[in-house]
């Protein structure tokens, strides 16, 4: 067995990483639906999911079971091959894009084999990522066309025009980052932001590339068809848009793809502009206490869950919440007692903390801004984002020629 593993270690470890990544991402997607409903509910002074499990934590499980057992009709007159291909294409492309995302700086050792904290580490990782995400328009467009209905067709046409229009600004907005890092490798882009560790967050790309970040994030929200750019599924005009004729798990696949794309965009914002897994605090003895922030965070969260569980109104909640809180407290104790584990967790902790902030902003925007008109959507893409992103490239090029990348 050991000889077989040694011979095929690369493929075995890669398959294991893919399985773990799929499990984590699909679980995260499920709870992003809970998170979004909760945040929007609090913005609108409502409770949100509350009855299925303590604080509604089992609501994603209930939704999954509903999709699994829901009737799955196929409308008459559809192009069956393309009709079934569209949701699979949308989901598979969204999940594939995460393969090139590095989630931490230090390699991990699996059964004695050392590998990176991510599925693939490519020298042209950003280019591959853009190539994969650019194909995402086909899933939505084909879904609208194959449904043999005018409302999905209009949604698919809207999506094609919208995603192609904002693709230009999305691409040009990161050229300044590439010029500063002189690399397409996502790890190199993060490393370039850590050239001056004494600066902390002041050394990140967000400050010299504030225009690029503005163009990138707005274009990325439009690319993922999220509010206020959700014209392809505008229920007030198109019933439900491109997925009107879809039900059951095929319907769910489109939304899993949407939430996965949100995670990918949040990871890219973190990597390109906000230092990736780098700590926002400067290096040095005076900032040594910041290494214990993961321990404090997990411990505080665990104690809160235990306290909240003891006061919860149902017996199930009084059992589950303290149990989850105890697990978090145990993890905090592990970090406090093991300096090696604490050092390893620093990178992933900061990376995922920043990703969660961007996911919150996604939901915050949805609960705050109204949907744009279609002419406004096109005006923003062509007359605002595209000129500003081109101007950012010119300014960055001039600054690098005059003062150098460092």
Residue boundaries of the structural domains of the chain? 68-278+338-403
pLDDT at 1: 54
Q: How far apart, in whole angstroms, are the C-alpha atoms of residue 280 and residue 106?
A: 18
- Other CB atoms within 10 Å distance of the CB of residue 76: 6
pLDDT at 392: 96
pLDDT at 161: 87
The b-or-e profile of 8-20 (16+ CB within 10 A means b, else e) is ebeebbeeebeee
Best CA proximity match to 372, nearest among 221, 184, 269, 153: 221
pLDDT at 319: 94
Q: What is the mean pLDDT of each run of 10 residues along the chain (406 residues)?
A: 70 89 94 95 91 93 89 87 93 93 84 81 90 88 89 85 90 95 94 90 94 96 89 72 86 92 96 95 90 95 96 92 96 94 93 96 92 90 95 94 71
Q: Hey, which residues does 108 pair with through a beta bridge?
A: 115
Residue 311 three-state SS = coil
Half-sphere exposure for 362 (CA within 13 Å, toward CB):
32
Q: How far apart, in whole angstroms, are the C-alpha atoms of residue 55 and residue 232?
A: 32
Phi/psi of residue 76, nearest 5 degrees: -70, 145
Asked if residue 157 lies in contact with residue 150, where contact means CB atoms within 8 angstroms, the answer is no
Task: Give start and end residues of each alpha helix (H) in 79-185.
Answer: 80-97, 125-134, 136-146, 150-172, 175-181
- Other CB atoms within 10 Å distance of the CB of residue 21: 17
pLDDT at 174: 96
If you write DSSP's letter for every residue of 192-247 in order, what string do you get? HHTS-GGGGGGGSTTTTTHHHHHHHHHHHHHHTT-TTS-GGG-HHHHTTGGGTT--
């Amino acid at each position: 067995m050991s000889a077989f593993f040694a011979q095929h270690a690369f493929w075995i470890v890669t398959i294991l990483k893919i399985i773990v990544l799929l499990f984590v991402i699909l679980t995260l997607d499920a709870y992003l639906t809970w998170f979004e409903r909760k945040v929007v509910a609090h913005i609108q002074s409502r409770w949100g999911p509350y009855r299925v499990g303590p604080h509604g934590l089992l609501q994603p499980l209930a939704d999954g079971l509903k999709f699994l057992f829901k009737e799955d009709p196929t409308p008459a007159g559809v192009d069956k091959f393309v009709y079934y291909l569209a949701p699979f294409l949308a989901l598979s492309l969204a999940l594939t894009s995460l393969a090139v995302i590095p989630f931490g700086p230090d390699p991990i050792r699996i059964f004695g084999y050392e590998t990176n904290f991510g599925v693939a580490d490519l020298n042209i990782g950003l280019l591959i990522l853009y190539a994969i995400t650019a194909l995402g328009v086909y899933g939505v467009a084909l879904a609208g066309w194959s449904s043999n209905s005018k409302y999905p067709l209009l949604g698919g046409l809207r999506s094609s025009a919208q995603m192609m229009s904002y693709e230009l600004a999305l691409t040009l907005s990161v050229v300044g980052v590439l010029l500063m890092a002189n690399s397409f490798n996502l790890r190199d882009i993060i490393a370039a932001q850590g050239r001056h560790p004494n600066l902390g967050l002041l050394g990140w790309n967000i400050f010299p590339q504030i225009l690029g970040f503005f163009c990138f994030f707005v274009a990325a929200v439009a690319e993922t068809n999220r509010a206020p750019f959700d014209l392809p599924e505008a229920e007030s005009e198109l019933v439900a848009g491109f997925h009107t004729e879809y039900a059951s798990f095929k319907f769910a696949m489109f939304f899993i793809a949407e939430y996965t794309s949100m995670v990918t965009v949040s990871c890219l914002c973190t990597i390109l502009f906000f230092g990736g897994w780098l700590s926002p605090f400067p290096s040095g003895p005076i900032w040594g206490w910041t290494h214990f922030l993961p321990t404090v965070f997990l411990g505080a969260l665990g104690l809160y869950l235990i306290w909240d569980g003891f006061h919860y109104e149902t017996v199930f909640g009084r059992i589950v919440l303290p149990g989850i809180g105890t697990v978090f407290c145990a993890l905090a104790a592990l970090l406090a007692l093991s300096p090696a584990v604490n050092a390893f967790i620093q990178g992933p902790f900061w990376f995922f903390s920043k990703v969660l902030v961007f996911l919150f902003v996604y939901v915050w925007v949805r609960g705050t801004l109204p949907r744009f008109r279609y002419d406004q959507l096109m005006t923003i893409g062509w007359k605002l984002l595209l000129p500003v992103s081109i101007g950012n490239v010119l300014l960055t090029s001039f600054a690098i020629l005059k003062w150098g990348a460092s």
